[in-house]
């Protein structure tokens, strides 16, 4: 192309002019598009600045002060790292909250995903009624986060609730008062979380449909039984979906609030047994009006969640198998 324009200088002049005109028009269009981009983005950008970024920085500042909602701004004192020190040394409920939240996430999330995968595997083999089953299993995921269901759980797992009535059918008369028993209150809340396995199940089911039939046929030809097919075909092929669900459910798990709040009537009790971290933030900020301390709690929580997310993504490459990639 360069050679032809060099040999025909007369022809190239008008063409170059046309090209310059075109690129000017193109530039104008691009500028217009760049401007339109920011016009369309402006509500989101404003939201990012005013509703997310500014409050985050503001909360960082508050976390170094003794601010409570009642005092005026000139009464606010800079207390340095005092809030953070208090968290780790002078607030026994803090370590309870950490322990409760970790227990909740580490037990409820894997069990929920196991239930989701198990039911998805059963459903995947079925031909008829899949749509109906899928919808009905999904229903608790829509309703379970509500106050109403937490109230139902509270009544069902009370000392004289339906669950103990059920146990007495089997001659169990000394059953605990689940939600009122420090040993069992958290487990009750976990059962409520696991009960909502429908949402990850739907995602697993879609993932299972994507696994090519040929892989199973090849495995069967090689003499793999169903158990080996599950370990060597299903699990690796499903690992991106498992990863996705694991990240999503873990982050959601750390943010549980409603069930613990309603079942413990806002106290996180009995004896801090259901004091999820979010509940501790709420109680310190809006119950005790320690807004500075609650901000410090929030920042530690944020950093913890960020670290866990990073940990997930950095370990993911060791066990998540993407069939179209290299690893």
Partner 1 sequence: MSLVAAAARIDEQPPVRANPRPSTRRRSFLRVLMLIGILAFVLYPLLWMVGSSLKSPTEVVSNLSVIPQEVTWANYPDGWNYIEGISFGTFFVNSTMIALATVVANAVSCLVAAYAFARLRFRMRQVWFAVMIGTLLLPSHVLIVPQYVMFKYFGWIDTPLPLIVPKLLATEAFFVFLMVQFMRGIPRELDDAAKIDGCSPYGVFRHVILPLSRPALVTTAIFSFIWTWNDFFTQLVYLPSPTSYTVPIGLRLFIDSSGQTSLGPMFAMSVLSLLPVFLFFLAFQRMLVQGINTSGLKG
Residues in 72-101 that interact with partner 1 by CB under 8 A: none
**From candidates 28, 88, 165, 183, binder to partner 1 by CB under 8 A:** 165
Q: What is the smallest separation between the CB atom of 297 and partner 1, expressed in angstroms?
A: 9
Segment interacting with partner 1, rule: CB under 8 A, options 12-20, 88-96, 138-146, 319-327: 138-146
By C-beta, is 11 or 34 nearer to partner 1?
34
d(CA 292, CA 69): 9
How many CB atoms sit inside 10 A of residue 240's CB? 17
Are 277 and 101 contacting, i.e. CB atoms less than 8 angstroms apart? yes
Interface stretch with partner 1, choices 14-22, 83-91, 106-114, 151-159 (CB under 8 A): 151-159
- Shortest Å, Cβ 2 to partner 1: 29
- 147, two tokens: 């106050």
CB of 111 to partner 1, least distance (A): 14
Within 199-238, the residues that bind partner 1 by CB under 8 A are: 199, 202-203, 206, 208-209, 211, 213, 216-217
Beta carbon of residue 311, minimum distance to partner 1 (angstroms, whole number): 13
CA-based end-to-end distance of the chain? 42
What 8-state DSSP symbol labels residue 324?
T
The residues that bridge with 65 in the sheet, in sequence order, are: 78
Nearer Cβ to partner 1, position 87 or 119?
Answer: 119
Least Cβ distance, residue 78 to partner 1 (angstroms): 17
Residue placing its CB nearer to partner 1 in the complex, 44 or 318? 44
Indicate which single residue of 113, 154, 185, 239 sits in contact with partner 1 (rule: CB under 8 A): 154
**DSSP class per residue in 156-188:** HTSTTSHHHHHHHTTT--S---GGG-TTTHHHH
Which tokens go with 320? Answer: 């998540």
Q: 316: which 2 tokens?
A: 């993911």
**To which H or E segment does residue 99 belong?**
helix 92-103
- What are the distances in angstroms from CA 98 to CA 194, 278, 286? 20, 10, 19
Residue 52 interacting with partner 1 (CB under 8 A): yes
CB under 8 A: which stretch of 10-18, 19-27, 28-36, 99-107 binds partner 1?
28-36
- Give the residue, chosen from 147, 271, 307, 311, that forms a contact with partner 1 under the rule CB under 8 A: 147
Under the binding rule (CB under 8 A), the answer on residue 283 touching partner 1 is no
User: Which residue number, 184 or 284, has a Cβ lying nearer to partner 1?
Assistant: 284
Contacts from 77-81 at CB under 8 Å and sequence distance 24+? 79/292
Contact indicator for 205, 134 with CB cutoff of 8 Å: yes
> Shortest approach of partner 1 to residue 53 CB, angstroms?
9
Candidates 98, 107, 111, 152; binder of partner 1 (CB under 8 A) is 152
Q: Binding to partner 1 (CB under 8 A): which residues in 250-279? A: 251-252, 254-255, 257-258, 261-262, 265, 278
50, 114, 218, 311: which one binds partner 1 (CB under 8 A): 50
**3-class secondary structure per residue, 10-66:** HHHHHHHHHHHHHHHHHHHHHHHHHHHHHHHHHHHHHHHHHHHHHHHHHHHHHCCEC
């Amino acid at each position: 192309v360069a050679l032809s324009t060099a040999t025909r200088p007369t022809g190239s002049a008008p063409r170059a002019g046309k090209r310059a005109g075109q690129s000017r028009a193109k530039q104008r269009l691009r500028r217009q598009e760049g401007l339109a981009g920011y016009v369309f983005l402006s509500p989101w950008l404003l939201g990012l600045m005013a509703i997310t970024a500014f409050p985050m920085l503001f909360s960082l500042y508050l976390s170094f002060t003794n601010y409570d909602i009642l005092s005026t701004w000139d009464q606010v004192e800079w207390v340095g790292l005092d809030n953070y020190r208090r968290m780790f040394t002078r607030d026994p409920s803090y370590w309870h909250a950490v322990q409760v939240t970790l227990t909740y996430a580490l037990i409820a999330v894997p069990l929920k995903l196991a239930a989701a995968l198990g039911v998805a595997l059963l459903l995947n083999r079925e031909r008829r009624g899949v749509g109906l089953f899928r919808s009905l299993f999904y229903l608790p995921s829509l309703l379970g986060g509500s106050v109403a269901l937490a109230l139902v759980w509270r009544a069902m797992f009370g000392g004289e609730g339906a669950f103990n009535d059920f146990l007495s059918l089997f001659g169990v008369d000394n059953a605990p008062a689940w939600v009122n028993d420090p040993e069992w209150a958290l487990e009750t809340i976990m059962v409520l979380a696991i009960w909502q396995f429908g949402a990850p199940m739907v995602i697993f089911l879609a993932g299972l449909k994507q696994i090519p039939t040929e892989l199973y046929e090849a495995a069967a030809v090689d003499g793999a039984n169903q158990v080996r097919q599950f370990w060597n075909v299903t699990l690796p092929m499903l690992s991106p979906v498992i990863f996705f669900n694991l990240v999503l459910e873990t982050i959601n798990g750390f943010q549980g609030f409603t069930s613990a709040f309603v079942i413990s009537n806002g106290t996180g009790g009995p004896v801090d047994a259901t004091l999820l971290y979010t509940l501790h933030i709420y109680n310190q900020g809006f119950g005790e009006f320690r807004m500075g301390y609650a901000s410090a709690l929030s920042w530690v929580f944020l950093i913890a969640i960020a670290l866990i997310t990073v940990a997930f993504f950095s370990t993911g490459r060791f066990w998540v198998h993407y069939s179209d990639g290299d690893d």
